[in-house]
Structure 1
Amino acid sequence: MMKPEDVAHYLRKNPQFFDDYAEMLADIRIPHPYEGRVISISERQMISLREKNRQLQVKLHELINIGENNDKISEKMHRLAVALVAFNSLEEMLHGLNNHLRDDFAIPHVALRLWSSNQAASEGQRLEFTPVSDTVHALVDNMTRPYCGPHLADEINQWFGQDAQLLRSFCMIPLRRKHTIGLLVMGSPELERFYPDMGTLYLERLGALITGALTRLKNKG
C-alpha cells in the first residue's frame, strides 16, 4: 500500500505530473486550515503564501525594533564615553557615572566597589572603596563575562541597603583590564530587566569604558 510519504516523494521527483494532469488541480479539494471547509489547491497555496508573508512581516518588524534599540543603546554609550573622557577627577567621575546610569540608562539602583589602592586617605572615605571579602574578590576574579539574573551573593546584595528588598534582577560587571580593579552591580525591581540569556556585549563595553576612566583618573591622582 502506498504511503502519503511515497506520494509526496513521487510528486517532488515528477513535477511534470501536474502538466500532464492539469485538470486535476481544478477538481482536487482540500480542507481549509482555519474555517473547516474544503478549498482548491490554488486557494490553499494563496493562504500559505499569505501566512508566510505575515510571518516575514513579523520577523522584519522584530529586526527593525532590535536595530532601533541597538541604535539607542549605542547613542547612550557614546554620550557616556564622551562624559568619561571629560571627567577630571575621580570624585567627579563617580558622581557623573551614577547620574548617567540613572538618567540616561534608567538604572536607579547601582552599587560600585573598587579594590583599595595607595591613593590619598580621602579615597577611603568614599563608599565605593569599602573593603570587600576575599569571597567577593574570588567571585569577581573568576567571572569571564557580566552576570545577569535574579541572584546575588548576600554580601553584594547588602550593598544596596534597604533598596535590596525591592530588587528582583541584577547585572554584575567585573571591572578589569590587566587585572581586576572592582565590580559594578546594577539592580532592577523588574524581573526581566536583567535575565540570564540576555546579550552582554554592551555590558562588556560599559565595563571597559568605566575601567578605562577609573584607571586614568586613579593614575592621575
Structure 2
Amino acid sequence: MTDQTARQKAGELSRDEVADYLRKNPDFFCDQDELLRSLTLPHDSGRAISLVERQVHLFREQRDTLRHEMTELVAIARHNDRLFEKSKRLLMQVIEARNLIDMASTIDDSIRGDFGLDAASVILFTDAEVSGSSQGALHVVSPAEARSRLGSLLEGSKAVCGQFSESEREFLFPDRDVPIASVALVPLRHDDLVGVFAVGSCQPGYFDQSMGSLFLSYISDTLSRLLPPMVQRHTSATPVTDLATESL
C-alpha cells in the first residue's frame, strides 16, 4: 500500500491534491473569510503575512516582470527598425551603382559608417579576368581557391557568424593593419554560388551564432542578383567564363 493510498483511506489529502483542488476551484475562498484571516505565509522580511498580501506581492512581481519584458521588446523593435532603414538605404545605393567598384565602395562606406562595423568584403568567385578587381572591399578569386580557404563555410545559403580561424579571416579581409576578430559571412547564390559577402568587427565575440542576421540576408539576396550581369560587363575575356564554373 502506497503512502498516498494510505492517506486516502484515512481521509487525508496530499499537498498536490489540495493544490490541484484549489486550481480547479479558484473561487473556493470567496465565502471563507474566517479561513482567509487565519492563513499566514512567511515573508522575506521574516514576518508572517496574509494570503491577500502574498497575492498582492506576487501580482506586483508579475507586473514588474511584464513591464521589463515589454521594455526589452520595444528596444528590440526600435533596433530592428533602425537596421531596416540602414539596410534599405544601402540597397538603394547598391542598385544605383554603375559598376563593381562603385558597388564595393558603397558597401564599404555603409557598413563602416552607417552600421558602425570595422570591415566589409565582397569576394567574387570566377576564373575570368575581371577589370578593376580587388579594390577596396571588392576581391576576385578562383572558385578553387575559395573552396580551399573557406571549405564548409560555403555550404548552405544562411549567414554564418562567429570567430573564424585566422586563415579564414585573413582571406576574407586581406591587407589589414588591425586584424578582424569576429565575422558574419553569407554566401551569395543565384542558381550557382557566385561569391560571399562578409562583415567584420575587431571586437572578439561581436558576432555569434545566436545573433540575428536578417539584414545580411536582405543585402546578400540583392547582391546575388546584381553581381552576375555586372561581372559579365567587367570581364575582359571572350567568351565570358561563367561564374563559379567549379561546383563548390
Pairwise TM-score range, normalised by the shorter structure: 0.7 to 0.9
Unaligned 5+ residue runs, structure 1? none
How many angstroms does 1:181 deviate by?
0.9
For 2:214, the equivalent position in structure 1 comes to 201
SS of the counterpart of 1:208?
Answer: helix
Cα distance, 1:48–1:210 mapped onto 2, change above 3 Å: same
Amino acid at match of 1:109: A
For 1:10, the equivalent position in structure 2 comes to 21
Amino acid at match of 1:100: S
How many angstroms does 1:70 deviate by?
0.7
1:105 aligns with 2:119: no
% identical equivalent positions: 27
Q: How does 1:179-194 map to 2 (within 5 A)?
A: 179-194=192-207
For 2:73, the equivalent position in structure 1 comes to 63
For 1:74, the equivalent position in structure 2 comes to 84
Q: How does 1:52-201 map to 2 (within 5 A)?
A: 52-116=62-126, 118=128, 120=130, 122-124=131-133, 126=135, 128-131=139-142, 132-136=145-149, 138-152=151-165, 154-161=167-174, 163=176, 166-201=179-214
Can you list the C-alpha shifts for 1:169-188, whole angstroms capped at 9, x where unaligned?
21111111111111122221
Distance 1:110 1:194 in 2: 14
Distance 1:36 1:163 in 2: 62
Superposition RMSD on alpha carbons, in Å?
2.5
Distance 2:155 2:27 in 1: 64
> Does the CA contact (< 8 Å) of 1:124 and 1:130 recur in 2?
no
Unaligned 5+ residue runs, structure 2? 1-6, 8-12, 235-248
Amino acid at match of 1:135: S
Distance 1:161 1:174 in 2: 18
How many angstroms does 1:26 deviate by?
1.6
How many angstroms does 1:110 deviate by?
2.4
Can you list the C-alpha shifts for 1:87-140, whole angstroms capped at 9, x where unaligned?
1111111111111111011122223321125455x3456460144343246535
Cα distance, 1:207–1:109 mapped onto 2, change above 3 Å: same
Can you list the C-alpha shifts for 1:31-86, whole angstroms capped at 9, x where unaligned?
12x32221011111100100000010011011101110110000001101110111
For 2:34, the equivalent position in structure 1 comes to 23
TM-score by length of 1: 0.86
Aligned residues: 219
> Does the CA contact (< 8 Å) of 1:76 and 1:105 recur in 2?
yes
SS of the counterpart of 1:10?
Answer: helix
The 10-residue stretch of structure 1 (126-135 or 84-93) with the greater mean CA deviation from structure 2: 126-135
For 2:53, the equivalent position in structure 1 comes to 43
Distance 2:110 2:54 in 1: 55
Amino acid at match of 2:217: E
> Does the CA contact (< 8 Å) of 2:149 and 2:171 recur in 1?
no
Whose radius of gyration is greater, 1 or 2? 2
Distance 2:78 2:174 in 1: 35
> Does the CA contact (< 8 Å) of 1:175 and 1:211 recur in 2?
yes
Distance 1:44 1:210 in 2: 59
